[in-house]
Amino acid sequence: MRILLLADIHANWSALSAIREPFDACLILGDIVEYGVEPAPCIEWARQYGTVVIRGNHDHSASQRVPPPTGHGLRALAGATRQQHWNVLSPTHLKYLSRLPVSQTLELDSKKFHLVHATPRDPMDEYLAADPETWKARLAGIDADFVCVGHTHLQFHLNLGKIQLVNPGSVGQPRDGDPRAAYAIIENGQVQLKRVEYDIDAAVSALKDANLPPEVTELAESMLRTGGRP
């Protein structure tokens, strides 16, 4: 079985539509929306192709109409795109996001998978990079062959003994210096971390057409082009 693993799409339809991998199952680890400005086609793709889709912190904030954050940098970007989403998404789209589970355990290809956006201790908000010892502590009591996470926008694979931990990186807003869309394939128990180039100019054009504040658009464009942090 060929399993496509996606996370942190962030309303970047240009990036998501560039992933053309064949798959038998697709697992989506949250944050379909915000930071980008094309949430509707990303949600529709997830509804059509996601075998299991879980909720990320940005999915939660958009669907629950959490007041947009104030401030600079990513907070300003999240706030501006959240308001934009409320103008372009239908009630059906928001209801779909609101009903996503926070975590999910399932069996595929005789392997048990545990899916969570951030960490089991704090499913939507805790940032934890590729630190094996800390992850071992976080995964105590988790019965799974694979634990799949997102949230950090950093791609990694850790073999922790019984458990393999996989973060496929971010489809729509990588932050590791590589602007290509990131994802992973799991096939026959083997993990492949993959990247694909996409039309960044199209994503930037969509941002500019959305009439976000100029400083927000400039930040988003810089991050997309460099694969970097703000």
* Domain boundary assignment for the chain: 2-101+170-226
pLDDT digits (tens, 9 = 90+) for 73-121: 999 999 999 999 999 999 999 999 999 999 999 999 999 999 999 999 9
pLDDT digits (tens, 9 = 90+) for 35-75: 999 999 999 999 999 999 999 999 999 999 999 988 899 99
Q: What is the rounded CA–CA span in Å between residue 169 and residue 159?
A: 17
Nearest CA among 34, 36, 30 for reference residue 15 = 36
DSSP 69: P
Split at pLDDT 50, 70, 90, the class of 228 is confident
pLDDT digits (tens, 9 = 90+) for 146-176: 999 999 999 999 999 999 999 999 999 999 9
Entry pTM? 0.97
2-101+170-226, which class in CATH? Answer: alpha beta
Torsion of CA 69, 15, 154, 111, to 10 degrees: 110
